[in-house]
Amino acid sequence: MQRRMSRGPGRRPGPTETREKILAEARALFAEKGYDGASLRAIARAAGVDPALVHHFFGNKEGVFVEAMRFPADPAVVLPRILGAPRERLGETMVRVFLEIWGDDERRAPLLAMLRSAMTNERAAALLREFVTAALLGRAKEATDAPPLGIQAAVGQMIGIMILRHVVRIEPLASASEDELVELVAPTLQRYLVP
Residues 6+ apart with CB under 8 A from 104: 72
| Helix/strand/coil percentages in the chain, nearest 5 | 75, 0, 25
Q: Is 3 in the site for a copy of itself (CB under 8 A)?
A: no
Q: Which of 42, 115, 134, 194 binds a copy of itself (CB under 8 A)?
A: 115
Q: Is 109 in the site for a copy of itself (CB under 8 A)?
A: no
Select 106 or 171, whichever has its Cβ closest to a copy of itself. Answer: 171
Q: What is the four-CA torsion angle of 189, 97, 110, 67, rounded to 10 degrees?
A: -120
Q: Is 149 in the site for a copy of itself (CB under 8 A)?
A: yes
CB 47 within 8 A of CB 21: yes
Q: Is 157 in the site for a copy of itself (CB under 8 A)?
A: yes
Q: Which of 5, 53, 132, 134 binds a copy of itself (CB under 8 A)?
A: 132
User: Is the preceding peptide bond at 75 cis, omega within 30 degrees of 0?
Assistant: no
Select 52 or 168, whichever has its Cβ closest to a copy of itself. Answer: 168
Shortest approach of a copy of itself to residue 167 CB, angstroms?
A: 5
CB 185 within 8 A of CB 162: no
Residue type, 32: E
- In the complex, the residues that contact a copy of itself under the rule CB under 8 A are 112, 115-116, 118-120, 125, 128-129, 132-133, 137, 148-150, 152-153, 155-165, 167-173, 176, 180, 184-185, 187-188, 191-192
